[in-house]
Amino acid sequence: MPDNVLIAPSILAADFARLADSARAVEGAADWLHVDVMDYHFVPNLTIGLPVVQSLRKATTLPFDCHLMIADPARWATGYAEAGAYNVTFHAEAAADPAAIAKDLRSAGSRAGLAIDRDTPVEGYLELLPHFDLLLIMTIKAGFGGQAFLPELLDKVRTARRHIDTGHLELRIEVDGGVAEDTIAACAEAGADTFVAGTAVYGADDPAAAVRKLRALAS
Ligand code: DX5
Ligand code: ZN
């Protein structure tokens, strides 16, 4: 079980007309705010982009965990670091040279994350992990909130955890998709230490209480 659990509510499940209020609703309970950027191209859904992230950055003290589900992250990712994101994660499937993007993100002042979508094996990316601060393993197919958790994808978390521990790498493992009260313990047992939750937080009557409950279940 991880001793340093981070919970990152995803604003994808929040009211987009009240994003600042939604962020503030989990201040003090959450560790990061997970910001899902989708471009109607890499994934068939469209959410928010850089101008919204820049505005929202001024509205909350929570560190931003930007998850870019976009094509051509080599061109766009550093803008999110420059906007003040704490961590910027982009998809392995969209990047020709992930290590070069990670280097650019770190130079621009953020941490760098690598995301692995549902149908992508993790093995081909293990050797790149020293360039990254975070590995995001999707536990759904990226693109939409509210999907059912896919437990078989935790095998990738186990593989990554073994590799990271054996190599003594400093890297968080984040799971994203369908993480909720009934699935978070299995994620933690598989080796995740960072947990994104959209519906499970913003679908609850009290989002901050939902975050606290998830943390207790993961710890
Ligand atoms: C989906 C996003 C997730 C999404 C998770 O592609 O990356 O962050 O918000 O939503 P839930 O927790 O509802 O599955
Ligand atoms: Zn996400």
Can you tell me the distance from the alpha carbon of 152 to that of 150, in angstroms, rounded to the nearest whole number?
6
98-148 pLDDT tens trace: 999 999 999 999 999 999 999 999 999 999 999 999 999 999 999 999 999
- Is position 119 annotated as part of the catalytic site? no
6-218: CATH topology: TIM Barrel (3.20.20)
| Phi and psi torsions of 90, nearest 5° | -125, 165
Model pTM score? 0.98
Q: What confidence category does residue 27 fall into, taking pLDDT thresholds of 50, 70 and 90?
A: very high
- Is position 39 annotated as part of the catalytic site? no
Given the residues 36, 65, 133, 193, the one annotated as active site: 36
Domain boundaries, the chain: 6-218
Residue 10 in marked binding region: yes
Given the residues 39, 65, 176, 193, the one annotated as active site: 176
Can you tell me the distance from the alpha carbon of 194 to that of 179, in angstroms, rounded to the nearest whole number?
11
